[in-house]
Structure 1
Amino acid sequence: MSQHRSHAVVVFICCLSIVSLAFGVRQSFGLFMRPITLDTGWARESLALTFATQAFTIGLLGPVAGAFADRWNPGKVLMLGGGLFCVGLLTMAGASRPSVMFGGGGLLVGAGLSGCGLPLALAVVGRIAPADRRSLWLGVATASATLGQLVLVPLIQTVIVEYGWRVAVLLGSGLGAFIVPLATVVARSTHAGLGRDADQSLGETLRGARSHPGYILLTLGFFVCGFQVQFITIHLPAYIVDQGLASSLAASALMVIAAANALGSWIAGWAGGFCRKRYLLSGIYGGRALLFLVLISVPLSPPVMLVLSAGIGLLWLGTVPLTSGLVAEMFGPRYMATLYSFVFLNHQLGSFMGVWLGGRIYDATGSYELVWWLTIALGAAASLIHLPIDDRPMARLVTNRG
């Protein structure tokens, strides 16, 4: 194995581990909604605003983290993000007022995840992966997120039940601390030339993206992904309990989503290697809308909820390797961290709206019904938006390849 290939494999494995830890802890936050509000007496909207701000902070600071990663060393950005993530979780664990929870769980955790979360790790993987296997590698990296979710969600749920939510948050902080040494390995294994195969400046690439119709539509469509995924992540556990089902089923539903997502993300990444990614994305968004319609239309029972969770999981994060793969396909991997971060910013704006509106509408009406219908309508719109995407590579990139 060549030295370049060995560096790429080491970085790939470390990125998979970082994604598993960061995503696994973050995906457990929905389990804290009821325990924290019941323990503190805070309104559900207050905690929803914290988690919504976290999502938006990830997106807002993502392009900054991406630019530093593209110009500097991505491993060092991952290290800084991991450190901030742990500090934010420690602040959450000790929060006695909503403002402290907002600062720790919203701003600090959000800032940390902008530097050590899935977008930056995917950008690193996209740069080091062989061009003919990039879509598959991105699919595997996305699927690794669910490994952390499968292991950490039931673990954290158990700790919440046995020891309380504050101890569970401290556990999350301890697990997140492992991101720092893993990122150190990435920093030492990543050099200036790794994955940089296009002779173009960041400014030229950004100007090209701004005028590229496919990039604009892709960015608009990713808003819907954020809205749907974060609404489900944060509010589905509470929704399940509100329907008279057990809280243990809420954790089981998240686990089933994670398990099915591991398969769904891998399939999406594999299929993206030989199918038009825009058509696959259109199908995923349309499929989500249909599943959500079924979820609110049939009587829920544990078997029905688990079957629907499996369906949701198969379509859960399959958008990620396809969307990030399209960015690399259209503009090359050189500045993928920055370009994908701008797309992801709109994703996180959708995440903010999904989480916050879920809490706001629930507190105002005592029901999530209006948000479910909005989620369905957005899925149908996103399915249509992706069909006309112009996925041809940027002209300058084609010239360089020639």
Structure 2
Amino acid sequence: MPLRQLLLCGSIIVTIAMGIRHGFGLWQLPIITENGWSRETFSFALALQNLSWGFFGIFIGMIADRIGAYRVLIMGALCYALGLLGMAYTSTPLAFFLTTGCLIGLAQASTTYAVVYGVLGRNVSAEKRSWAMGIIAAAGSFGQFFMVPVENVLIDWFNWQNALVICAVLSLVIIVLARGLREPNYTGSHGAGQQSILQALTEAFTYRSFLLLVIGYFTCGFQVVFIGVHLPSYVKDFGMAPHVASIALALIGLFNIFGTYSVGLLGQKYQKRFILLSIYSLRAVAIILFITLPLSAMSVYIFAAVMGILWLSTVPMTNAIVAQIFGVQHFSMLSASVFCSHQIGSFFGVWLGGYLYDQYGNYDLVWYIAIALSIVSALVHIPMNEGPIKRAVMA
């Protein structure tokens, strides 16, 4: 498979899939106003979405390792379109949870990093893998930079429901792009003398360094989804215009293009665990300064730019460590397994944001939790061993 084709199609797929979801915070106030819901209701749906993404992702990873990414991506695109239509037209919390939560979560598990990275792992040499993963992660960042302002314009021009319908149509483009990730000669992860799924999972979840990655990724999910969903409401509570939040979310995407690509390059030269340690430490510093200094539009933009550099930078490093330790036979499944922790963190980040806001009228306690988690995650990467695991030669 030509590397250029793989990177181009994979990047656009992730741009669409990640770009659409990064703007969901823009729909919070229109949807809860239209339906008379609380912020907690909307937050719980997105929390369920992230949890579904993580849970379904493990099984989607197994399927992608077995049959390849092509058919998985087609199924994911169809689920994405149906889920967005449900998000637009459901009027009860239960239906909203099932479509916006479960169905879109399944779609995201089938159209984002674990599936695309599985193809990368099998078709890119270990020497270039960190760089290639950085490019795909940067594409997801470009999706946020490009799609958030577009979604804001769509909401203003066509109303919030029609904007979701347009996004549903856009998600179907993934079906066309999936052809660029077809692997005609791929025979799957099964075969004589190879690890079984159960053996691979047992090996990973009894290996200390994998568990340390799981802890770190929890923090990443908590922080990025809390900020992505609740930052628009946070700045509006301080009397700022809606465009401040839109610009901030776009800046996160813009600066993360450079952050993820740069981290991908650094991962080829330096130990990846120390890069992750630095990312989590800098996030803690950025949040402390943001909530303690006087808030203004400029401080929001600076915070967004700094967080953008650190936003998805954890993704190529974490996945590269997984491939480096365990190899690529069950890479999609193991990548999705560690990502499940990210999504559990996302669940708590977005849900606690809404719940604690309704309880106390502000987001202060959630910010403090995010800082504490950053410190813990920075520390757990110190004893990590990112070298290849030593296993007995299989018969």
TM bracket (short chain): over 0.9
103-112 vs 122-131, which moves further: 122-131
- Report the counterpart of residue 161 of structure 1 in structure 2: 156
- Report the counterpart of residue 347 of structure 1 in structure 2: 342
Whether 1:62 aligns to 2:57 is: yes
- Counterparts in 2 of 1:376 and 1:332: CA distance versus 1, 3 Å: same
**How far, CA to CA, are the matches of 1:43 and 1:232 in structure 2?**
18
**How far, CA to CA, are the matches of 1:190 and 1:106 in structure 2?**
34
- Report the counterpart of residue 129 of structure 2 in structure 1: 134
Within a 5 Å distance, the mapping from 1:43-58 to structure 2 comes to 43-58=38-53
Within a 5 Å distance, the mapping from 1:105-254 to structure 2 comes to 105-187=100-182, 189-192=183-186, 200-202=194-196, 203-254=198-249
Aligned partner of 2:174: which letter? I
- Report the counterpart of residue 27 of structure 1 in structure 2: 22
Give the paired residue count: 393
Amino-acid identity (%): 35
Within a 5 Å distance, the mapping from 1:277-356 to structure 2 comes to 277-356=272-351
CA apart distance, 1:35:
1.7
CA apart distance, 1:207:
2.6
CA apart distance, 1:342:
0.5
Q: SS in structure 2 opposite 1:80?
A: helix
CA apart distance, 1:195:
10
Check conservation: 2:67, 2:187, Cα contact below 8 A: no
**How far, CA to CA, are the matches of 1:165 and 1:190 in structure 2?**
41
Check conservation: 2:114, 2:333, Cα contact below 8 A: no
Check conservation: 1:22, 1:116, Cα contact below 8 A: yes
**How far, CA to CA, are the matches of 1:298 and 1:383 in structure 2?**
24
Check conservation: 1:88, 1:108, Cα contact below 8 A: yes
- Report the counterpart of residue 33 of structure 2 in structure 1: 38
CA apart distance, 1:9:
3.3
- Counterparts in 2 of 1:80 and 1:112: CA distance versus 1, 3 Å: same
- What residue ranges of structure 2 are gaps of 5+ in the alignment? none
**How far, CA to CA, are the matches of 1:100 and 1:232 in structure 2?**
25
- What residue ranges of structure 1 are gaps of 5+ in the alignment? none
CA apart distance, 1:199:
6.3
Check conservation: 1:361, 1:371, Cα contact below 8 A: yes
CA apart distance, 1:194:
9.0
Say what the alpha-carbon RMSD is for the aligned residues. Answer: 1.9
Compute the TM-score of the two structures, normalised by the length of structure 1: 0.94
Q: SS in structure 2 opposite 1:12?
A: helix
CA apart distance, 1:256:
0.4
Check conservation: 1:127, 1:195, Cα contact below 8 A: no
Check conservation: 2:22, 2:148, Cα contact below 8 A: yes
Aligned partner of 2:161: which letter? R
CA apart distance, 1:193:
5.6
CA apart distance, 1:210:
2.2
**How far, CA to CA, are the matches of 2:241 and 2:209 in structure 1?**
44
Within a 5 Å distance, the mapping from 1:253-292 to structure 2 comes to 253-292=248-287
Per-residue CA shift, 1:339-374, capped at 9, x if unaligned?
111100111000000000000000111100000000
**How far, CA to CA, are the matches of 1:98 and 1:354 in structure 2?**
20
231-240 vs 94-103, which moves further: 94-103
**How far, CA to CA, are the matches of 1:68 and 1:133 in structure 2?**
25
CA apart distance, 1:267:
0.9
Per-residue CA shift, 1:305-359, capped at 9, x if unaligned?
1111110001101100000000000011221101111100111000000000000
Compute the TM-score of the two structures, normalised by the length of structure 2: 0.95
Per-residue CA shift, 1:179-221, capped at 9, x if unaligned?
112123423x44316999x963134332321221111111111
CA apart distance, 1:93:
1.1
**How far, CA to CA, are the matches of 1:72 and 1:132 in structure 2?**
26
**How far, CA to CA, are the matches of 2:361 and 2:116 in structure 1?**
39
112-121 vs 370-379, which moves further: 112-121
Check conservation: 2:141, 2:312, Cα contact below 8 A: no
**How far, CA to CA, are the matches of 1:98 and 1:84 in structure 2?**
19
